[in-house]
């Protein structure tokens, strides 16, 4: 691992972040496209949550994590405060792992 690698990854990542932010300022975006951009962000975030909840290294992650996420999502639906949602999810997963469920 070298500084060159860190800089290439860092600068590349920064430029990708910046390009989206600056492009939006230069082009007049019609409302129809704005809606698609917003839905696109939703699509990416839901895909991220789904893959993070269920997969690890290209396969199924085991039951402890999805069970915790399900408890968190359910408590969010029941309008439990956000901090508690996060703690309930982590606590469920940690508890299941204590019981030997991966």
Partner 1 sequence: MRSFRRTPTPEGSTDGSRADLRDVLALAAALGVVGASFGALAAAAGIPLPIVAGMSLIVFAGGSQFLVVAVVAAGGGVLAAVVGGLLLNARHIPFGLAMAPVVADRSPGRVLGAHVLIDEAVAFSRARGTGPRARRAFWACGISFFMLWNVGTIVGAVAGAAVPDPNSFGIDSAFPAALLALLLPGLRAADARRVGLGAAAVALVATPFLPPGLPVLAGLAGLALAGGAPVTKSAPGTKVAS
Q: Is 53 within 8 Å of 69 (Cβ atoms)?
A: yes
For strand 55-56 and strand 59-60, is the pairing parallel, antiparallel, or unpaired? Answer: antiparallel
DSSP 59: E
The answer to whether residue 49 forms part of the interface with partner 1 (CB under 8 A) is: yes
| 53 forms part of the interface with partner 1 (CB under 8 A) | yes
Angle between helices 64-77 and 82-98 (to 10 degrees): 150
Binding-site member from 20, 28, 99, 100 for partner 1 (CB under 8 A): 20
Binding of partner 1 by 101 (CB under 8 A): no
Is 65 exposed, middle or buried, given 0-12, 13-18 or 19+ CB atoms closer than 10 A?
Answer: buried
Q: Smallest gap, in angstroms, from Cβ of residue 72 to partner 1?
A: 3
* Least distance between partner 1 and beta carbon 88 (Å): 8
Q: Going residue by residue from 60 to 89, which x/- string records binding to partner 1, judged by CB under 8 A?
A: -x--xxxxxx-xxx--xx-x-xxx-xxxxx
Which one among 28, 92, 100, 101 touches partner 1, defined by CB under 8 A?
A: 92
100 interacts with partner 1 by CB under 8 A = no
Please state the φ and ψ torsions of residue 79, each to the nearest 5 degrees.
Answer: 60, 30
């Amino acid at each position: 691992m070298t500084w060159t690698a860190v800089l290439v990854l860092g600068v590349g990542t920064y430029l990708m972040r910046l390009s989206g932010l600056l492009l939006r300022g230069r082009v007049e975006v019609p409302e129809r496209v704005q809606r698609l951009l917003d839905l696109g962000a939703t699509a990416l975030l839901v895909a991220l949550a789904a893959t993070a909840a269920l997969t690890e290294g290209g396969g199924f992650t085991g039951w402890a994590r999805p069970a915790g996420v399900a408890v968190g999502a359910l408590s969010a639906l029941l309008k439990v405060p956000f901090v508690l949602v996060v703690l309930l999810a982590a606590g469920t997963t940690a508890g299941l792992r204590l019981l030997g469920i991966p």
